[in-house]
Structures are given as structure tokens and as C-alpha cells.
Chain A
Amino acid sequence: MSGAGADPVTPSGHGPPGGAVVTRRRPSRSRRYLTPKRAIPRTLVVALGVLSFAVLIGMWAVLSYGGFISSYFLPKPTTVAHSEYLLFKDDGFLSDVWASGFRIMAGFLLAALIAVPVGIAIGSFRIAQAFLEPPIAAIRYMPASAFIPLFIIWFGIANGEKIAVIFMGVFFPLTLMIADVSANVPAELLDMSYTLGARRRHVFLQVLVPACWPGVVDSLRIGVGWAWTYLIVAELVAADTGIGHVILQANRFLQTDVIIAGIVTIGALGLITDGVFRWLYRVLFPYVERVER
């Protein structure tokens, strides 16, 4: 927590206000970039991000255009791009994307809505922890996909089953992550509040809960990734709409290009969701002290 002795060379070149600016010999560029946790220029961050995708696509291009792998197993990038285009243009893929997106939102929101208060309660109150943590920890180890047959019997193959699978896969680990967040709020922060005249209710609602929010949003960002995984699993088993359904159909007709187009779509959507959560974090919690990531 202490900022004393921390690296004064911030990217903008300014030290913290009032803090001592230590001059030290400027290390060579390569050495600076290889120093753990040291910030690097923003342009380099973007360039490296683009480069990593370029490398992936480049490897793919070499393997497919070079004829190392037959296009039946690995279609060319251009073929996949074309299939993606046709999916949206002719096959009404947008409605499948929407169907999947809706299930994600419903299942994830439901899980988050319950996991946030339950998680905070478990991390804050020993009594809640003693009562709720054992079953949640146990159920967490039951694979959500194993519940699919049961959920099909209970809810049919409509949205209810997908939402139930997502809930099953997200709620339990998310609750435990959020419990950890609230358990890690420093006890001194609470003690401090009592000495300022706060009562238990104040300490919980005005100190402990607000102290949890950044960690909660971070947990939600990770949790929404799990939601995508479980949704596609559920859609692969039984569905008549959705991205998973399209992928399964393509599998029946051996359309490798369409399968990959579907997977790439999921990746893109995942990246967008992640970006939204990161943006939300920056906007909501400008006060958080952290290494830029």
C-alpha cells in the first residue's frame, strides 16, 4: 500500500504530488521494457495487441494458403471471412447472435443479481459464511454441463434451459469470488470507521460495501466469460436458434468455414463484453490505485 520507494518514473514523467522525485540513471529501452510491472508507452501497447492478432492470422494463412493443411480441416482466412459475411447476409445470423446474447444477459444478470449480495454477505458475516459457503463450494465442483439433461427435462429446450445452465455455471464460482473480495476489505478500514462514530449499519453500508465495488465489477467481467462457455455448451446439446446451434448445424454439413466463423464471432463478442466491463471499471472507479492493465 505504501507508496514510499515506489517507482517515480511514471509514463507521463511526473512523480506523485509532493512526492520526492528520485533521479536515477535511465536504463536502456530494452531493459526498461523487460522490467517487471513497468509501464510501457501507450502506442506500444496498441501495436503489440494488433501484432499478436496479426501473428495468429499469419500462422493460419501460412498453414492454409501454403497447403500444409487441407482446406477441409482448416479453411482459408478469406473463406471464413466470406462465410461470416454470408451468414449475416443470407442466413439471418444476426437473430442467432441476438438469441445467444439475450440468453447470456438473462442468465448472467440473474446469477450476478443473486451472487453479489450473497457473496458480500459470505465475506462479511461469519454467520452467512458458515451457513452458505459449504453448499456453494460443493456445488461449484458439479459441472454445469452435467445438469443439461436434467434442465432439458425441467425446462424443455427453450431459453429456460440455457439460462439455467448459465446460472448454474456462473453463480457458484462468482459468489465465492465476490465473497473473497469482501473478505479482503482491510479490517483497519472498518475499525477506523467505528472510531469516527459509525455504527455497524454505517460500517457495512457506507464502508464495507463501497469498498467492494471495484472488486465486484472485476469479478463480473471474469464471470461473463464463463457465461459464454456454458451458453455454447447448452446450445450445442439442444437448441433451434443461437450461435451454438449454427455451429452444430455446420458440423452436420461438414462446413468447417462456418464453424470457425461462429467461433470467431463468439471471440469478437467476448472481446466486446470485456471491453465494456473495462470501460465501466475506468468510469466508475477513477480512484482505484493500480497498475494499468
Chain B
Amino acid sequence: MSSLQARHVSMTFQTRRGSLQALDDVTLEIPDAHFTCLVGASGCGKSTLLNIMAGLIEPSAGEVLVDGRAVDGPGADRGMVFQSYTLYPWMTVRRNIEFGPKLKGVGRAERGDMARSLIEEMGLTGFADSYPKELSGGMKQRVAIARALANDPQVLLMDEPFGALDALTRTGAQRFLTELWERHRRTIAFVTHDIDEAILLADTVCVMSPRPGRIREILEIDIARPRSFKERESARFVELRHRLLELIFEHERVGSAERSG
């Protein structure tokens, strides 16, 4: 198991209209087996930070460390789940899940066992030989999670994985992910713009502010696990929600005050 660290990460994109600073000196540590949610208004660079952690984007400055070792490009030690399902449409559920282990040279039999148990665990029994087009959105996302887990990554990076699901499916998916995480504890960085989702899932919520993207505040979610969605009405939950909303929108008031003043 591993910790995930971002150290003084800055990111500047060159655009047609000049340079755009997406991240400004972001330092963040996610301890081993911790679930951290990154929240913030759009443009706060949360997805950029996740992509840098994955090694898909090289930061302009700073570095990302997994277990103290600097990240150099993407790798199987950091599994990723995107908002769009990104399943391979020409592969069946089973072959999608086996893709990572196959690349690593895991034998056919072992791969098959691994896929079978993941399929069962994900509640996809009976769909092993289905193509992604035959699955609902929620099922596709479970396959995507299974595919990432098949590599047994130390770190799981999730970029609004439930963003495309309808509200009901989404609630189910959140519960499912919590249960899964209880069983396979690993370090998770989870980007979302849904505050309730963040409180429900995370040990720690990291609030980011936009233009340039910075870490605004890090909040511990001190609600006992396992948490159910009924928790949403509890006093502590409501309190945390208010606090987070305040933090997220604070900069806007400051921003407009600065402009008018």
C-alpha cells in the first residue's frame, strides 16, 4: 500500500490567448489507504491535478510521489477511472477486465479466475461475455472500476466516475464503491463536483479554488463508517455541506469584491 503525494505542483497551459495557470503550487498528501475527494468549482484544476497524478500530463513544476518514488509517466500502479466509461467496445466485459493483467503477462488461467471473481464482486454475473453496448451506464462504470482493480493498483484515481449516471444509479454506485473500498482498502483520489458525494465517500475532502487552481482547505470528514445515504440528513452532514459550500464559493465573493473595489 502506498501514499500519494503532490509536491509544489504547478501547471501552466499555453493557449491561443496566452498562458493559463491551471495549478499554482499545489501540495497535497493522501496517506496510505485513505479516500480523498477533490472538490471545487469548474476551472479549479482538480481534473488536471488528477491527470498529473496519473502521469498523463507532465506538470510545469513540482512532482508527484507514490510511496516516496517520483512518478514518471502513467503506469499500472495507478489505476484510473474516467467519467466517460472508456471501455474497449470491441472487447467483452471479461476481456476488458483482463486487459491490464494480460499486458503484464499474467497467464490465461490466472487472468480468467481474476476476472471471474471481479465480475461476481461487481454484480455483473451473467454479463461476462456481453459487449459494453449491451450494458447500462452504471454497469459500464462498474466494469471500468473492475478493469482498474484487476491490475491491483496501489492508488486509484477517479475523475468524476459517477458524473454521467442518473441520480438513482449514482446513489447505488456510491454505496457500491464504499463497500468495495471497505474490502479492498487502497489510496483513492476522487474528483467530484457533487458535495454530498464527497462527504459520503471521503476521509478527507480537499477544496480547491480556481484561477489559478490552489488548495483552499482540507477538511476531515469525521462521520463514522459505514455511512449510508440516510446520513445526509444528519446534523454533522448538513454542517459539513454548509462549510464546504462556503469554502467553494468564498473566493467568488472575494473575487467580485476585489473587482468592484
Q: A-side interface residues toward B, CB under 8 Å?
A: 1-5, 16-20, 186, 188-189, 191-198, 202, 207, 210-211, 213, 285-289
Contacts and interface: CB of A to CB of B under 8 A. Distances in A.
B131 interface: yes
A17 B136 CA distance: 6
Contacts, number: 95
A16 B78 contact: no
Contact of A186 (B56, B79, B86, B133): B86
Contacts of A198: 103
Given A2-B137, A17-B139, A192-B80, 16 more contacts: A1-B85, A2-B164, A17-B135, A17-B136, A18-B136, A19-B137, A186-B84, A191-B82, A192-B82, A195-B55, A196-B148, A197-B75, A197-B76, A210-B90, A285-B90, A287-B132
A189 B87 CA distance: 8
Contacts of B157: 195
Nearest to A284: B90
Majority secondary structure of chain B interface residues (helix, strand, loop or mixed): loop
Given A189-B86, A196-B151, A16 B103 contact: no
B137 to A, nearest CB: 6
B159 to A, nearest CB: 10
Interface in B28-63: 51, 54-56
List 8 A-B pairs, minimum CB-CB distance, nearest first: A197-B76, A194-B74, A287-B131, A195-B80, A18-B136, A289-B133, A196-B100, A19-B136
B172 to A, nearest CB: 10
B134 A16 contact: yes
B133 A191 contact: no
Contact of A197 (B56, B88, B100, B168): B100
A1 B84 contact: yes
Contacts of B151: 196-197
B192 to A, nearest CB: 17
B16 interface: no
Contacts of A286: 131
A22 B218 CA distance: 41
Given A17-B136, A195-B56, A288-B89, A202 B103 contact: yes
A135 to B, nearest CB: 28
Q: Interface centre among B103, B138, B164, by most A CB within 10 Å?
A: B103
Interface in B81-104: 82, 84-86, 88-90, 99-100, 103-104
A224 B20 CA distance: 47
Nearest to B132: A287
A285 B88 CA distance: 13
B136 A195 contact: no
Q: Interface centre among A188, A202, A288, by most B CB within 10 Å?
A: A188
